[in-house]
Amino acid sequence: MLSDEELMRYSRQILMPSFDIAGQETLKSARVLVVGAGGLGCPVALYLGAAGVGHLTLVDDDAIEVANLQRQIAFSQDQLEAAKAESLADRVRQINPLVSVEAIAHRLESDELVRQVSEASLVVDCTDNFNTRFALNRACVAAKVPLVSGAAIRGEGQLSVYDSRDPESPCYHCLYPEQGNEDLSCSEAGVIGPLVGMIGASQAMEAVKVISGVGKPLVGRLLILDAWRMKWREMKLARDPGCPVCSGT
């Protein structure tokens, strides 16, 4: 049940007939695992916290650097060298003290990764390396937890939703095989600041849709953004019947 303070805080969401109090209560009961507290993770965490997701777990093993401030909008100059996960968690609490926020300032691996994913209602992948993405995908498929995936580099971004509860949904591995993909970081290739905000905000929107059951999530679809020309393209994604990760589920 929502308190009077929650009814007031979330009134603009509750006013929408399709969302209503039921949608807000579903958000309140959700546990979302956000892996990565950088350019994508900042808008994801801020919007989901402000929207009233009941519990957020924010994971990142990095510290804030001056080069992050061009795009990682939750951080400020006086937080340089502070842990990203803890700093982002503090910022979410400042925006909305009614939600529970946990910070994990180390890399999730093996059993701890599996446990965190299995305890979540939904996982948001805001990372910048394929190894972590593949590990998250495997854990989400095994636990049947939806995965909202986003990426941004230079002036291009993409996002999709992989939901192993849906027998028609592909997984991340169906789209990207583990062999032949090499990481390309923002520090090597560059990235324009507003792009990560656009992709991160879109990931937050997809998360709200999946959790609340309102709208149509990007399951089986990949959105690709060319920010310099402001053009979105959509690709249909099919499940790979020979996928070594999800074919047996």
Domain total of the chain: 1
* Whole-model pTM over 0.85: yes
Look at residue 4 in the predicted model and tell me its pLDDT.
98
For the segment 204-230, the average pLDDT, to the nearest whole number, is 98
Structure tokens at 79: 């937080």
Report the 3 state secondary structure along 12-62: HHHCCCCCHHHHHHHHHCCEEEEECCCCCHHHHHHHHHHHCCCEEEEECCC
Determine the length of the chain.
Answer: 249
Please check whether residue 245 lies inside any domain of the structure: no
* Interval 65-80: pLDDT, tens: 999 999 999 999 999 9
Look at residue 170 in the predicted model and tell me its pLDDT.
97
Output phi, psi for 57, to 5 deg.
-115, 120
Which is it for the CA torsion 73, 76, 81, 86, positive or negative? Answer: negative
Please check whether residue 242 lies inside any domain of the structure: no
Q: Would the pLDDT of 178 be above 90?
A: no
Please check whether residue 246 lies inside any domain of the structure: no
CATH for 38: 3.40.50.720
Comparing CA positions, the residue from 35, 39, 37 lying closest to residue 196 is 39
Please check whether residue 60 lies inside any domain of the structure: yes
Domain extent, residue 167, equals 4-236
Please check whether residue 205 lies inside any domain of the structure: yes
Residue type for 211, please?
A: I
